[in-house]
Amino acid sequence: MAKILTMEDIKQAIVNYIFDDRKTQAVLLDGEWGCGKTFFVKEHLIPALQNIGNAKIYKISLYGISNVDMIQEMLYAQWLEEVVGEKTGEIGKVVNKGINIFGKSAIHALEGKFGAEGAVENVVRTLIDGVIKKNAYNIIIFDDLERCRVDIIQLMGFLNNL
């Protein structure tokens, strides 16, 4: 008879997998709708991952997302938010809010206004690369996969390329 895993067993298995440098594949937490996957991730898994030094967690809901560019924008916005948060004080809070709302589009608008196409994005990309590289582990958690409107093959291909 197979042993039924407890939440602690599942959490520990995922944590061990993520921090095993020999493994680089994604983990899929599957279960019936309403069984508590999001609760488990928020209340158990993320706190366990945050207790490991040099790990940064990015959580993105795919609810209503209709193309992979939107996912990339949301990742970009979270990375920009982290960069701005590290580099500024009170002004950073205002900039962060704009980045969260407008993401990469805000960068392109600034470049267009000042006639510096690509310049701001290149600076930001360099800053983002620095943020990403300083973390030994960058963990991206996607929630609401079943509510995403992107074709599953295209979505999996995009996620695999991350």
The most confident of the ranges 76-80, 86-90, 113-117 is 76-80
Q: How many of the other CB atoms lie within 10 Å of CB of 86?
A: 12
Within 13 A of 7's CA, how many CA atoms are on the CB side?
12
| Residue 32, Cβ density class (10 Å: 0-12 exposed, 13-18 middle, ≥19 buried) | exposed
Query: Helical H runs in the chain?
Result: 7-18, 37-40, 46-50, 68-87, 90-114, 119-134, 152-161
Q: Which of 13-27, 33-47, 50-64, 69-83 has the lowest mean pLDDT?
A: 69-83
User: pLDDT tens-digit profile of 18-36?
Assistant: 888 888 778 889 989 899 9
67 Cβ contact partners less than 8 Å away, ≥ 6 residues apart: 150
> Which pLDDT does position 91 carry in this prediction?
47
For residue 120, give Cα distances in angstroms to 1, 11, 26, 100, 111.
59, 40, 32, 17, 6
pLDDT (mean) for 133-141: 75
Tokens of 118: 């690509």
Kindly state the helix (H) or strand (E) to which residue 137 belongs, with its residue range. strand 137-143
Give the total residue count for the chain. Answer: 162
- Name the residue type at position 2: A
